[in-house]
Amino acid sequence: MEAYFYHYLLIAVFAVVAILFACSPLVIAWFLAPKKPGQSKQENYECGIESKGDPWVQFKVQYYLYALAFVIFDIEAVFIYPWAVAFTGLGLGGFLAMALFILILVESLIYMWAKGVLEWN
């Protein structure tokens, strides 16, 4: 029972060390950084050009839908490459699993196409 507890204690120690490792540079920089506020530091930065208008611009939802579709099909490629490399050793089960995976992704592509998500207006 004690060995079981030590495994979780080790995970907790790793989590605390990871959090401290990530947060300590931020805290150190907050204390040591020079604080010289000014008007130019409070302005919005836009590639070195003086910004015009309100910086809070609402983007069309369609941009996010394209990004989401890209992520979905990018992850598909991440799964297909290792499957293609090990194709000959997987047998029928591996083939059917990937065929089902690709079928689900094709179904999502057809659904997005039917809903007009892929149409650019």
Q: Where do the structural domains in the chain lie, given as residue ranges?
A: 2-115
Q: Which fold has domain 2-115?
A: Methane Monooxygenase Hydroxylase; Chain G, domain 1 (1.20.58)
pLDDT digits (tens), the chain, 121 positions: 677 888 899 999 999 999 999 999 999 999 998 888 887 777 777 677 777 777 677 777 778 888 888 888 888 888 888 888 988 888 899 999 999 999 998 898 898 889 887 777 6
DSSP 8-class letter at 33: S
Q: Provide the whole-model pTM.
A: 0.49
CA 115 to chain centre: 25
Say if residue 105 is exposed, middle or buried (CB neighbours under 10 Å; 0-12, 13-18, 19+).
middle
The CA distance from 6 to 10, in Å, is 6
Q: 3-state class of 46 per DSSP?
A: strand
For 117, half-sphere exposure in the C-beta direction (CA atoms, 13 angstrom radius) is 17
The pLDDT assigned to 56 comes to: 75
The pLDDT assigned to 55 comes to: 67
The pLDDT assigned to 39 comes to: 78
